[in-house]
Structure 1
Amino acid sequence: MSSQRFIHPHFQYYLDLKEQPLIDLYVDLRSFILDKYPFSNELLYHTHALTSLYSITEKMGDAFCLIPIYTNHLNLAFGSGTLLADPFQLLQGTGKLMRHIPIKTPTDYRNEKVASLIEEAYQLALEEVENPIKVKGETISKIKKV
């Protein structure tokens, strides 16, 4: 399904301003997530980082993971990262809840350790959701038109 979900034009505009290796890494990580969770909603933001969140509803707070893209790097982040078991100690960060995995190559996420973390985050999001899923498999841009 991810191969059929195009990158939103507002997001693509800012993504195209990045270096090609970073773009390629983002596109592959996005596909990795959407292939496993094709009915998740993709919420797009452009604040201090160009960010795509993957949520079980249309709300940012119900996201199970996100990809913030900075100038020269990107991360796979978890808004409730401190609540995840993380048996392989992959998660980094000092925030109250947020944790991330620095991504430099596809081998940083295309493995069972990371897949299990994403699954755990997904299950946690399902347990904590207050409202039933309203939108399934949509891309929702919160980026102002360029």
Structure 2
Amino acid sequence: MKTTRTIHPDFQFLLDFKDQEIIDLFTDLREYILELYPDSNELVYHTHALTAVFSISDKLSDAFCMLPIYTNHLNLGFNKGTLLKDPDKLLTETGNLIRHIDVKKPTDYRNPKAKALIKEAIDFAIKDMDKPTKSIGQTISKIKKK
């Protein structure tokens, strides 16, 4: 099932500067996340990376995953990755909280193990949320225009 949610124009403008292979991977992975949790809010940022963050509310603190796009690669990041069960050892990095899966091809995330991890992250975020959200299925740009 394909979502019809368009990429925010602020984000699309910056995304268009990336290599087509990265754009295609991002677009497919974004679609996959939105298929798994259509009610997620997408917060888009441009800091050290061009990043789409998927949250169960309009707050970054309620995010369950993120897709940071760097110069030549992107990751499927989990905001509270150290708190997730990861029996298949898919997650990498050594920070206090964030973990990620390196994404080089669709099979890196379109597989039962990654799908289970994404669903666990969604369930964790829902249980961990402080108060109900008023925003459902929105795309919110946090990109500062120059």
**Alignment TM-score, normalising by the size of structure 2:** 0.97
Alignment of 1:20-31 (within 5 A): 20-31=20-31
Match of 1:100 in 2: 100
Match of 1:50 in 2: 50
| In structure 1, distance between residues paired with 2:142 and 2:110 | 28
Alignment of 1:1-146 (within 5 A): 3-145=3-145
Q: Give the length in aligned residue pairs.
A: 146
| In structure 1, distance between residues paired with 2:64 and 2:2 | 17
Question: Do 1:41 and 1:135's aligned partners in 2 also have CA atoms closer than 8 Å?
Answer: yes
Cα offsets for 1:73-112 (capped at 9, x unmatched): 0000001000111010000001000000000000000011
CA distance 1:44–1:133, shift in 2 (3 Å): same
Structure 2: gaps of 5 or more residues: none
Give the partner amino acid of 2:64.
F
**Alignment TM-score, normalising by the size of structure 1:** 0.97
Structure 1: gaps of 5 or more residues: none
Cα offsets for 1:36-67 (capped at 9, x unmatched): 11110000000000000100000001000000
| In structure 2, distance between residues paired with 1:83 and 1:11 | 29
| In structure 1, distance between residues paired with 2:134 and 2:49 | 27
Give the partner amino acid of 1:5.
R
Cα offsets for 1:19-48 (capped at 9, x unmatched): 000000000000000011111000000000
SS at match of 2:3: helix
CA RMSD of aligned residues (A): 1.1
- The list of structure 1 runs, each at least 4 consecutive aligned residues, that deviate by more than 6 angstroms after superposition, is none
Give the partner amino acid of 1:129.
M
Equivalent pairs: percent with the same residue? 59
Report deviation, 1:68.
0.3
Report deviation, 1:138.
0.3
| In structure 2, distance between residues paired with 1:69 and 1:85 | 25
Report deviation, 1:15.
0.3
Give the partner amino acid of 1:4.
T
Give the partner amino acid of 2:122.
Y
Question: Do 1:68 and 1:77's aligned partners in 2 also have CA atoms closer than 8 Å?
Answer: yes
